[in-house]
Amino acid sequence: MAVAVVVLAACGGDKPANTPPADSAAPAAAAAPAPTDSAAPVAAAGNVSMEKGQELYGRCMACHQQNGDGMPSAFPPLAGSEWVTGPASRPIAILLHGLQGEITVKGTKYNSMMMAYGTGVPMTDEEVASVLTYVRASFGNTASAVTVEEVAKVRAATAGRSSPMSQKDLEALQ
């Protein structure tokens, strides 16, 4: 789900947090949006897949919309978001731990809650890297791909965390 990424606010899910990931939980790739920017998508590396990321973005669309514009006053945009296109550790941490509290995105304040993974359904490092690579290269965004190693590093560094991220927590990440 997504990220955001990033500032991925409250995308509710219908599965409990302890439900293991399953390919059938994500919408079919045909139903997911195509990148909306005119530039060529960022190439994904290793096991990271733009196609898988696009498919997984289907979990994020209820809140962040097919075009990444979010929902005014409720869920922040991913398109043009400084949290999506900044250091990759920030959207990674949001997907891994969720987000709660006030956060400013593109000059607008939001104060919502996003569960970890957006839907509470655990994701592998490859899935997190794929969906964030897709988001960082779509909707007019042109940020670098996210690697499985980056996800693993943030996961390990924040393993003891039991609460959602806040804007202050995100700002501390590099």
What does the mean pLDDT of the chain come to? 80
Distance from C-alpha of 35 to C-alpha of 129, rounded to nearest angstrom: 16
Task: Summarize pLDDT for 12-37 with one digit per residue, the tens.
Answer: 333 333 333 333 333 333 333 343 33
Task: Summarize pLDDT for 58-92 with one digit per residue, the tens.
Answer: 999 999 999 999 999 899 999 999 999 999 999 99
- Please state the φ and ψ torsions of residue 15, each to the nearest 5 degrees: -120, 145
Output the pLDDT for position 2: 40
Domains of the chain: 23-33+42-172 (1.10.760.10)
Spatial contact of 139 and 53, defined as CB atoms under 8 Å apart: no
Spatial contact of 8 and 78, defined as CB atoms under 8 Å apart: yes
Angle (nearest 5°) at CA 32 between 30 and 38: 105
The tokens for 144 are 């670098």
Q: Integer distance in angstroms from the first to the last C-alpha of the chain? A: 21
Task: Summarize pLDDT for 90-125 with one digit per residue, the tens.
Answer: 999 999 999 999 999 999 999 999 999 977 788 999
Distance from C-alpha of 123 to C-alpha of 116, rounded to nearest angstrom: 10
Distance from C-alpha of 45 to C-alpha of 71, rounded to nearest angstrom: 31
Q: Closest Cα to residue 33, out of 95, 73, 79, 97?
A: 79
What is the CA 25 to chain-centroid distance, rounded? 17
The tokens for 126 are 């490859």
Angle in degrees, 0-180, between the axes of helices 148-157 and 89-97, rounded to the nearest 10: 60
